[in-house]
Chains A and B, each alone.
Chain A
Amino acid sequence: MIRALRAIAGRDLRLALRLGSETMTVLVFFVLTVILFPFGVGPAPETLAKIAPGILWVTALLASMLSLERLFAGDYEDGSLEWLSLAPVPLELVVLSKALAHWLTTGLPLVVMAPVLGVLLHLDPAGTLTMIAAMALGTPALTLIGAIGAALTLGARRGGVLLSLLVLPLYIPVLIFGVSAVDAAIFGLGAGPRLLILGGLALFALALAPFAAAAALRQAIE
């Protein structure tokens, strides 16, 4: 099982490294959108600092959604998904491996980039560590929930718009607790409980999303 997970995730990682586009797309989108905000709300440091956690989370969420469409689409179009479904490992594990590779190529760069952009937005330094922790806990949940949406919309007409419509409502809890954890750290309220809930959301998604996404994949390749 672990070997299969490593093999599938490794294959996806190699593909991502050689094509190299996904990580760049997500990062460029993240940076560009964040840079637009000072132009939109004005350069006053106190205004920016106040809304920095929200900006970073919302743009990170949109950026991670941007890459979801390709999560299964490539394998679906060239038929490898059918081969993977015939492999002697459960399809749930295939979903998990692909989600892991997806998080490593798109979620992790967001976690690394968020504190850098935080500096640009005058994010209170007291919140930086919590920002990293919250993103590290939240982005896997985003990828896992997104995997359900990506699997459901395989082969759909106007799949991209539909995918955002399906996934965004489910992202709201992660967004709420992600932002509130950073806010709590800045105001000295203690981010612990919020981070724990965020972790709980991630574990919940880890436990359920592979089954839902695998069920969706099965009816897509039927």
Chain B
Amino acid sequence: MARPVSSFHRFANPGRFMRLAGRLMPWFAAVTVVLMGAGLYFALFDSPADYQQGDSVRIMYVHVPSAWMALFVYVSIAAASAAALIWRHPLADLFAKAASPLGAGFTALALLTGILWGKPAWGDWWVWDARLTSVLVLFFLYLGHIGLMYAFDDAARGAKAAAILALVGVINVPIIKFSVDWWNTLHQPASVIKLSGPTIHPTMLVPLLLLAVGFTFYFLTLVLVRMKSEIVAARIRAMRLAQLGA
């Protein structure tokens, strides 16, 4: 039963994980700095302004990667939750706990930049556009996940409940997306100006992709920091308890 079948289980050992995370983290952080720096340079200085939207189109370079990360992090939390429930992998719970506030942060960033972009592009701070609305719902799914995680005196109970919720949520995300699209087309057909065109010029695509990968590494770096600090905090708690017992 306890036979380590793969590397998947080998890293269930917190000590081994701490060593690996410690080795990876500086590299991840370096990649983040390089990619984000280059991406931001291209995005802010070396890419053309949109012929319709002017410089406000540069909000896109933060907005789009944030929105991608918002979804990506939610899916990764769901995958980790499945691993936590099926194999009782201890690090999977830890990952979900560490990633959820980060995902909520990316979602909030996507919403805020969307609001800031909405004013110059659509002439209004908030439009009940299908995508904006879906991201808003996703934000509430994140808040529920975080709230449930910390709602119990027993942390393990909160982790398990949150894992079940994440799985229920990830099944529902496509349904919510589909119904919001339907609702939007029913209530306000084509009141929203679409982005300038279906194709995007390479001068815009390159910084966008650089920033998207940069955001991913930024997330990975932070998640490792948060997971490590969780493990350290658990050790400190255990030591304090041992001291009390002695």
Contacts and interface: CB of A to CB of B under 8 A. Distances in A.
How many B residues are at the interface, by size bracket? 20 to 34
B168 A170 contact: yes
Contact of A157 (B141, B152, B160, B164): B152
Given A208-B171, A216-B161, A169 B137 contact: yes
Contacts of A177: 179, 182
B168 A176 contact: no
B180 interface: yes
Contacts of A165: 140, 143-144, 147
Contacts, number: 82
Contacts of B160: 219
Q: How large is the interface on A (under 10, 10 to 19, 20 to 34, 35 or more residues)?
A: 20 to 34
A166 B144 contact: yes
A208 B175 CA distance: 14
Given A148-B168, A169-B141, A170-B172, A156 B180 contact: no
A166 B148 contact: yes
A215 interface: yes
B151 A156 contact: yes
A215 B151 contact: no
A219 B157 contact: yes
Given A169-B137, A176-B183, A219-B161, A153 B151 contact: yes
A39 to B, nearest CB: 25
A136 interface: no
B209 interface: no
A159 interface: yes
Given A165-B140, A165-B144, A169-B176, A152 B186 contact: no
A177 B171 CA distance: 18
Contacts of B152: 155-157
Contact of A159 (B151, B179, B183): B151
A176 B151 CA distance: 30
A157 B157 contact: no
A34 B165 CA distance: 32
Contacts of B186: 180, 183
Contacts of B167: 212
B176 A172 contact: yes
Contacts of A133: none
Contacts of B151: 153, 156-159, 162
B76 to A, nearest CB: 19
B140 A216 contact: no
A177 B179 CA distance: 8
A99 interface: no
Interface in A176-222: 176-177, 180, 183, 201, 204, 208, 212, 215-216, 219-220, 222
Given A172-B137, A176-B179, A180-B183, A152 B165 contact: yes
Interface string B194-234: 00000000000000000000000000000000000000000
A125 interface: no
Interface in A117-160: 148, 152-153, 155-159
Contacts of B168: 148, 170, 208, 212
B161 A152 contact: yes
A168 B140 contact: yes
Contacts of A173: 172, 175-176, 178-179
Interface string B134-164: 0001001101100110011100010011001
Looking at A148, A201, A215, A220, the one whose CB has the most chain B CB atoms below 10 A away is A215
Contacts of A148: 164-165, 168
Contacts of A176: 179-180, 182-183
Contacts of A216: 161, 164
Interface string A15-26: 000000000000
Contacts of B137: 169, 172
Nearest to B151: A156
Given A152-B164, A180-B182, A162 B148 contact: yes
A169 B135 CA distance: 11
A162 to B, nearest CB: 5
13 contacts: A156-B148, A157-B151, A166-B147, A169-B137, A169-B176, A172-B137, A172-B176, A172-B180, A173-B176, A177-B182, A180-B186, A219-B160, A222-B157
